[in-house]
Structure 1
């Protein structure tokens, strides 16, 4: 008995504390925090920045290369020379010094258009990365609101459990009075106490589950915050177009399909880049140099200084490379074909998912309307049973069953409501509209 009373007291205290000045985390605020702090979105944005850097003019090969080089040499050795007239000279410790500096410039004038196609491929790669980032954000949207609405679901279910506990405590109080005045047996009192205890335990478990899901939401948000906040529980359904229009939007906007289309474009550029090896390449090189030397007495010249400009053109044409270019082009064509097959496979798969999700959505809306009617029916039944219970016309078991039916119907309606909303979000993701949600 003491354990039961302590359990009831703990539940009441917990509910009271949670009801005091709780922070409300709105859907709009949750979305803003997620877009700013979510780890996956941060990585996607960094990948997008890398792809943007790769499309820079500095990464295309269209610019020339320039380099400065310089050097100095010192040589000290013993020398002996013999001249044509037979005379000779011998020097110990002959020193030779030389200095040089140059500025060189190289530029590829023509490389078979390989640079051009590579640059276009880099731009398509950036577009692909942009679509990948968009898909990451879409998935994060769906993950965020799936968890957010799960918290809302559990919050409303917890309210139902609170209501069930309140009803059970009222019944327990009534059973105590009846037992004290000899109007009921001790068995009725014990049954009421057991029901209160069971409802208390269920509520404690619901509170724990709710806290766990909130911690999961914190990970999606990318922040650490206490789990004493509450969320918005109202649900507004979006007026979704008919299936044919939804199907057209999916084909036009689905992130996965758009990525496959970009992969085809990237693979087609691989063919052109490899074909560029069939053509010659023409390069320009020029340099300006300065050289100075200081020679020992054994040298014909005591020293020399020179400077000047050098320039030249180089042409190369790989007439036959053993068939490696031919093989690369053939493999690139097969890669394009594979990407086209994959695109068709994804179209069939996504269209099938769309049809299945659409049917689930319509069925869930029907279930939602049916559950709404069930709530009205069970509430009416419970109200009538309560009146008859007060008059002693029904047993505590019948009253408890009516109570359970009423609470279960409210929970079922609550679950149906959020299940329908989550399926709606899946439809929006498939059609590429999930990022357009307004709150």
Structure 2
């Protein structure tokens, strides 16, 4: 493991007062982002929906039970004419009451419901994987944004060092000019170079503010929130193409989603085909009723008992609609197989591309490390010679600019390796988050 320290600590001045800032480490940034990031929150809620859908589907495999209770009452004037009586009977305000209770249970077994449960289970797995994809992408984005801020802060320090050298040169040339030891042209040139470096530093402050805003957006906190960044970029030397490819085809979450989608397409077809099979329904009921009447021969009637039955059914013809639905499901399954193959090809190419960037950035880093040592020594020599009057301001300025460019390329090479590393780990499915510990990238 190589560790290239890009240690930065910036103070923020507000109303001419320096405020103490809370330090933000990479691990804390990830935990804060996963706690607040809206994409993560939405993904977790959508995962809950798929879990609920799976539980709803379970209801198709369970019996349904209904209970009803009814009560009636009527008051009527009744006139009854009997065969063996000459005069009719008149009953005013005759009361009639009725009361009944029914309990019905139905259980229908359908094989397509069993297949549907398997399909909903796969959809639930897809929901879990999609939530993990969002978490992986969020961790990767926070990693890139966090280390981009580290890089820009380090670049800011380089510009400050460059500005300090330009200030020293300006002071020297100014003193020489006032004593008549140099021309006004050299004095003005030193002033112009100093102003140029000052302008670059001001522009860099804007870049840093934007980098902070971008990171704060990922963390879902206020855009003007200030954190002290004191961290280092650690890069891994042991990433190998073969193991990355093997792991990617086992753990890449989007690849797993596509595989589940293929399973879902297959189960959808089997679910439709199962509708051709017979269905069996079992039903049972319990009924209890009581009726009372002041008129008629039957004053009270009570009943209670059980009923059971079974129904066997099969679809004989549905206008070829089911056949067409099965054909469509087969086509969709074949299309999903192509989608899976396409993503496997894309994943393989993405890993090769990211690994090429990773390897190239490592080679660049070796070159820039050697070049940085040479440029640093050359700048020191050029500055000493300039103070002694042995070299022109143009030669010193060239050495100064070369030093700034070399240092910038060095830190950008480290950042480039880190970005490629994060992308490789994301593609390999090696970025995950343990709620009981820190984010893990391995």
Q: Normalising to structure 1: TM-score of the pair?
A: 0.88
Contact 1:57 / 1:63 at 8 angstroms: preserved in 2?
A: no
SS for the counterpart of 1:66 is strand
CA distance in 1: counterparts of 2:216 and 2:164, whole angstroms: 31
C-alpha deviation, 1:271, in angstroms: 1.8
Structure 2 counterpart of 1:212: 210
Which of 327, 330, 333 aligns to 2:327? It is 330
Larger helix fraction of residues: 1
Tell me the CA shift for residue 238 of structure 1. Answer: 1.5
Which of 356-365 and 390-399 deviates more? 390-399
In the alignment, structure 1 residue 404 sits paired with structure 2 residue 378:
no
Residues 217-256 of structure 1 mapped to structure 2, 5 A cutoff: 217-224=215-222, 227-256=225-254
Q: Give the aligned partner of residue 70 of structure 1.
A: 69
Measured against aligned partners, the alpha-carbon deviations of 1:172-214 in whole angstroms (never above 9, x if no partner) come to: 2223322322223344333333333332232222122212221
Is 1:367 equivalent to 2:371 in the alignment? no
How much does 1:84 deviate?
A: 4.1
Tell me the residue number matched to 1:4: none
Render the CA deviation track for 1:320-348: whole Å, top value 9, x for unaligned: 22222222222222111111111111111
Is the 1:60–1:115 contact (alpha carbons within 8 Å) kept by the matching residues of 2? no
Task: Judge conservation of contact 1:27–1:232 (CA < 8 Å) in 2.
Answer: no
Q: Deviations over 1:248-297 (max 9, x none)?
A: 22222222211111111111111221122111111122222222223352
The match for 1:116 among 93, 114, 117 is 114
Q: Which moved more, 1:348-357 or 1:286-295?
A: 286-295
Q: TM-score scaled by structure 2? A: 0.87
Query: Does structure 2 retain, via aligned residues, the 8 Å contact 1:18–1:228?
Result: no
Q: Partner of 2:316: helix, strand, or coil?
A: coil
Question: 1:82: Cα distance to partner?
Answer: 4.1
Counterpart-to-counterpart distance in 1, 2:112 and 2:183: 95
CA contact (8 A) 1:60 1:118 kept: no
Asked if residue 135 in structure 1 is aligned to residue 133 in structure 2, the reply is yes
Q: Indicate conservation of the 8 Å contact 1:271/1:333, yes or no.
A: yes
Contact 1:45/1:133, CA 8 A, preserved across alignment: yes
- The equivalent residue for 1:104 is 104
Aligned to 1:377: 374
Moved more, 411-420 or 241-250: 241-250
Task: Give 5+ residue unaligned stretches, structure 1.
Answer: 1-10
Segment of structure 1 superposing worse, 54-63 or 263-272 = 54-63
* Structure-2 change in CA distance of 1:105 and 1:155 (3 Å): same
Secondary structure of residue in 2 paired with 1:278: coil
Structure-to-structure mapping, 1:285-364, within 5 angstroms: 285-297=283-295, 299-364=296-361
CA distance in 2, matches of 1:169, 1:62: 81
Alpha-carbon distance in 1 for matches of 2:123, 2:275: 22
> Please, which of 416, 420, 423 is the counterpart of residue 423 of structure 1?
420
In 1: Cα distance, 2:120 partner to 2:66 partner: 27
1:186 to 1:12, Cα distance in 2 relative to 1, 3 A: farther
Change beyond 3 A, Cα 1:158–1:190 = same
SS in 1 for 2:234: coil
Q: Is the 8 A contact 1:105 1:286 kept in 2?
A: yes
Per the alignment, do residues 401 and 219 of structure 1 end up closer, same or farther by CA in structure 2, a change over 3 Å counting?
same
Post-superposition Cα deviations, 1:11-51, rounded to whole Å, max 9, x if no partner, equal 99959989874433111111222232222222222222332
* CA contact 1:428–1:434 (8 Å) conserved in 2: yes
- Report the count of equivalent residues: 426
C-alpha RMSD over aligned residues: 2.8
Aligned residue for 2:436?
A: none
Which residue number corresponds to residue 163 of structure 1?
161
CA–CA separation in structure 2 for the residues paired with 1:316 and 1:90: 54
| CA distance in structure 2 between the partners assigned to 1:314 and 1:427 by the alignment | 59
Distance 1:25 1:301, change over 3 A: same
Please list, as runs of the form range in 1=range in 2, the aligned pairs for 1:8-157 lying within 5 A after superposition.
21-56=20-55, 59-76=58-75, 79-84=78-83, 87-89=87-89, 95-108=95-108, 110-111=109-110, 113-157=111-155
What is the alpha-carbon distance in structure 2 between the residues aligned to residue 273 and residue 425 of structure 1?
41
Structure 2 unaligned segments of length 5 or more: list them.
1-9, 433-438
Secondary structure in 1 aligned to 2:61? Answer: coil
Cα separation, partners in 2 of 1:157 and 1:74, compared to 1, 3 Å: same
Q: In 2 relative to 1, CA 314–12 (structure 1 residues): closer, same or farther, beyond 3 Å?
A: closer
Deviation at 1:92, TM superposition (A): 5.8
2:103 partner SS: strand
Whether the 8 Å CA contact 1:73–1:98 is kept in 2: the answer is: yes
